[in-house]
Amino acid sequence: MCEANAYLYKGGEQEELLMERVDRVVPQNGEIYLENIFGQRKMIAAKIKELNLVDHRIILEMIAAEETV
């Protein structure tokens, strides 16, 4: 299976695991909807920083205040 883990980038080397084995990722209204293969769902007030699919990694980051136009 080719799902990936979703992490929240926290600067430097730090990141927080948000959800394991994510299948669907949908940006919606400035947030990110995540759904994994177990049917778990989350909305995260973040944006996509980077995907590394071969490494099974989805990296999100918080939206900086100055970017919310």
Using CB under 8 A, list all residues that contact a copy of itself.
Answer: 1-4, 22-27, 37, 47-54, 56, 58, 69
DSSP assignment of 21-59 equals EEEEEEEETTEEEEEETT--EEEESEEEEEEETTTTEEE
Between 3 and 7, CB nearer to a copy of itself? 3
Q: How far is the CB of 58 from a copy of itself (least distance, A)?
A: 8
Which residue lies nearer to a copy of itself by CB, 2 or 12? 2
Report the alpha-carbon distance of residue 7 to residue 57 in Å, rounded. Answer: 7
